[in-house]
Structure 1
């Protein structure tokens, strides 16, 4: 099951994802996360509790990053596990989203 939590730390909002980022997470991301009102100009997406991402999840992540950027937010993606990082590397996600997004 996929869950998320938003916390504010100093000057950034931390969006902590928990669970697999796949087709089952689609509604949560589209209907809740993308409509969330972030009070800071910087949003960090914390992947420390995401162990699996499929093609739907990659599409959701790309949409989410673009949505937040269009809203004037600076985005970083942090704490990506080795397994998920391998998927990101294979798909050259850093080239799509920008290398500065990943910390």
Structure 2
């Protein structure tokens, strides 16, 4: 899992690249989370994420919940069709709310 942070004044876009699996979730938790907590708006760009397993889904659920509890707006963008199919099967958009996926 690799990532790129594109920072603007109060917003940051996190471009993830690679599988969001058990190894990828460690990168997100240890490196990305501390770097994005100071922004008021976060966009997770999943364009280059071809696969998300259960640990990745759990991470996304916890990440969105934590950000929202801290008053940080978070959206998930550019989800690949095959990944979105899994999210839809698990009702992730319903759980997180329609406004999270753009």
Please give the TM-score of this superposition, normalised by the length of structure 1: 0.89
Number of corresponding residues:
102
- 1:1-103 superposed matches below 5 A: 2-9=1-8, 12-103=11-102
Let me know the Cα RMSD of the aligned residues.
Answer: 1.5
SS of structure 2 residue aligned to 1:44: strand
- What is the alpha-carbon distance in structure 2 between the residues aligned to residue 99 and residue 28 of structure 1? 26
* Structure 1 outlier segments of 4+, above 3 Å: 37-40
Unaligned runs of 5+ in 1: none
Deviations 1:39-96 (A, max 9, x none): 5311111000000001111001111111222221111111010010001100100111
Unaligned runs of 5+ in 2: none
Task: Compare 36-45 and 93-102 and name the one that shifted more.
Answer: 36-45
